[in-house]
Structure formats: structure tokens, C-alpha cells
Amino acid sequence: MNVKSKRRKKIKQSVRKKIFGTPERPRLSVYRSNKGIFAQVIDDANGLTLISSASEEKDLKIKANKSEKATLVGKKLGEKASKAGIKRVIFDRNGYLYHGRIKALAEAAREAGLEF
């Protein structure tokens, strides 16, 4: 394991100690890979993933750069959340810095109606 991934893992553990998703306010968890971005709205109290969205979904597979795909994933997640009746979430950036693709996804989700 390299230094960068160790650092992210340490940040992730310290953040997850403080963040806990409830049925009223679930946790929006983001995972960023080299090729794609994935987001889930999770109820930690019951151990359920309520909704999810990913750049690998059939309707989101388009020719675009990574930030544009993250924006599309955020919009899609916001739409799914509003249909499911979820308005407020706790944002879990999973140890990643809040810029680039993570920021693009978060801002698109906010525009789609989610409150962090």
C-alpha cells in the first residue's frame, strides 16, 4: 500500500467515526476510481443502501471527461433521492479531498435538490 492510499484510509477512518447515517438523514458516500465515480445513499442504522448511482450505468455511459461524468452522477442521484423522498443527507467524501470530481458530484446533487 502506497503513502497516498494509507493517508486516505486514515482520513476515512477518522471521518467515519463521526459520520453516521440515520433513516431521517442518510449518509451520501462517494467512491472515486481511476475510471469512474460511484455514489450511494446509505442508512447505517439499518445497514441498507437506499439508492445508488454510478458513471458505469447504462444511461450515463457517454463520451465525456471525468468531471462531467461526476456531474451527471450527482444529478442522477439527486433525482433518484427526490423520487425516494430523501431531502437531507450527510456527505461522506470517503477521505478524498473536496475538489475536482468529488466537488462536481456534490454540487450537482445540491442543484438536484439534496441538502448537505
pLDDT digits (tens, 9 = 90+) for 50-103: 999 999 998 888 888 999 999 999 999 999 999 999 999 999 999 999 999 999
Phi, psi dihedral angles at 64 (to 5 degrees): -160, 160
Provide the whole-model pTM: 0.91
Closest CA to 12 of 96, 90, 89: 96
User: For the chain, which domains are there?
Assistant: 3-111 (3.30.420.100)
The pLDDT of residue 6 is above 90: yes
| Mean pLDDT calculated for residue range 44-50 | 94
Catalogue the E-assigned strands of 1-116: 27-32, 37-43, 48-54, 90-92
